[in-house]
Amino acid sequence: MKRHIVVALSGGVDSAVAAALLLEQGYRVTGLFMKNWEDDDTDGFCPSAEDYQSARAVAEHLEIPLHAANFARAYRTRVFARFLQDCEAGLTPNPDILCNREIKFDVFWRHAQGLGADLMATGHYARIAERGGVLRLFAGRDPDKDQSYFLHTIDRAVLPFLRFPIGDFTKSEIRARARALGLSNADRKGSSGICFIGERRFPPFLKRYLRAAPGPIYTVDGAPKGHHEGLMFYTIGQRQGLGLGGPGAAWYVADKRLEDNALIVAQGGLHPSLYRPSCRTGPAYWLGPAPAFPWRGLTKIRYRQPAQEVRVEPDPDTPEGLILRFAEPQRAVTPGQSAVFYDAEGVCLGGAVIALAPRTQGIPHPAPERR
């Protein structure tokens, strides 16, 4: 009897080809479309309806059943609420990581089991394979599309039930396969933006949910440079949207100083204040046994960053937290983003949320304003 596998059919080309490959491998395939966002949309931006029509066209072409499920309430409480909390705290969170753990590989998987699924699959560029008799999560073979970074916190108990059919392919190979199959979304643009919320003008969107707290902008030398709209709208290393002109090189965000609600900027993309030799993290999550410390391996501190050499040790001041010491100073180390760990063979070991990068030396506090 064919094993029944439910595929997260999003409307994009990756999940469409994943479903086609599973059919070729002899599975009984069912598509499941998730709707995870349904707030009032004053921007007139509603990707869900278009995505569903694309998913339905794929299902009809492949002659597989398609179900739809609304997980908006779970997404709101388990992902978006945490996202807002982190933004309000001045962090730059990554909701895709939390969405994978809480929705795609938890709520979705339980719903798929209710449909009689033995397994579930997605269109992620990642791989699952045995090493030493244990299933491990590996990076996708295409370094430009590897998405294991977003998967490092999923429940390890779910790994035996997961399939990532496109993990051994490049994006160009997937599009070529989609064209050969005659899929209508073969050349459809890939999605970006906030997970399941899509591409939006970020400040106006966030202002619907959080009250902005404008404040001063200072240079790394302590000179006043203007005013910002709210620290939650900026991220370390950001260039666009600062509204800072004048002669010389462009300005970049070097720090967000929460104690006085100040945005610190530096001129020039290679300014030393944009680089950090180390950082601290919150509690780590491991997809297998934690390595012996101190551990030397590879890390990514953002998606699509080439893996960097790092030395990792426990943080004596944070239970289960870590201290990362980079072999080379890293640009734009951003609290709220995740540091994800890999060994030399591409096994994704786990990761942790960056909590603090040592502040650039020599950034003075400005003298208090006289009233």
pLDDT in tens, 332-361: 999 999 999 999 999 999 999 999 776 544
pLDDT in tens, 30-49: 999 999 887 655 455 556 78
pTM for the model: 0.90
pLDDT in tens, 224-241: 999 999 999 999 999 998
Query: Any idea which residue has 């719903």 for tokens?
Result: 111
Which pLDDT band holds residue 199 (cuts at 50, 70, 90)? low
Which pLDDT band holds residue 367 (cuts at 50, 70, 90)? very low
The pLDDT assigned to 44 comes to 53
| CATH number 1.10.3720.10 given to 218-270 | no
Q: Is 209 helix (H, G, I), strand (E, B) or coil?
A: coil
Lowest mean pLDDT among 89-93, 163-167, 187-191: 187-191
Please give the backbone phi and psi of residue 42, each rounded to the nearest 5 degrees, phi first. -75, -10
Query: What homologous superfamily is domain 4-181 in, according to CATH?
Result: HUPs (3.40.50.620)
The pLDDT assigned to 361 comes to 44
- pLDDT higher than threshold 80 for residue 190: no
Which pLDDT band holds residue 363 (cuts at 50, 70, 90)? very low
pLDDT in tens, 291-331: 999 999 999 999 999 999 999 999 999 889 999 999 999 99
pLDDT in tens, 105-164: 999 999 999 999 999 999 999 999 999 889 999 999 999 999 999 999 999 999 999 999
Please give the backbone phi and psi of residue 352, each rounded to the nearest 5 degrees, phi first. -155, 155
- The DSSP bridge pattern shows strands 262-267 and 215-219 to be parallel
The pLDDT assigned to 359 comes to 57
Give catalytic residues, as residue numbers. 99, 195
Considering the chain, what is the average pLDDT of its residues?
A: 91
Q: Sign of the CA dihedral 193, 198, 201, 202?
A: negative
Domain ranges for the chain, please list them: 4-181, 218-270, 275-356
pLDDT in tens, 263-292: 999 999 999 999 999 999 999 999 999 999
Query: Any idea which residue has 């200072």 for tokens?
Result: 218
Q: Sign of the CA dihedral 95, 293, 355, 342?
A: negative
Architecture of domain 275-356: Beta Barrel (2.40)
Taking residues 50-72, report their average pLDDT.
Answer: 95
Token digits of residue 103: 């929705």
Q: Is 180 helix (H, G, I), strand (E, B) or coil?
A: helix
Taking residues 178-203, report their average pLDDT.
Answer: 75
List alpha helices for the chain, DSSP H. 13-24, 47-62, 72-75, 81-88, 95-99, 108-114, 171-181, 202-207
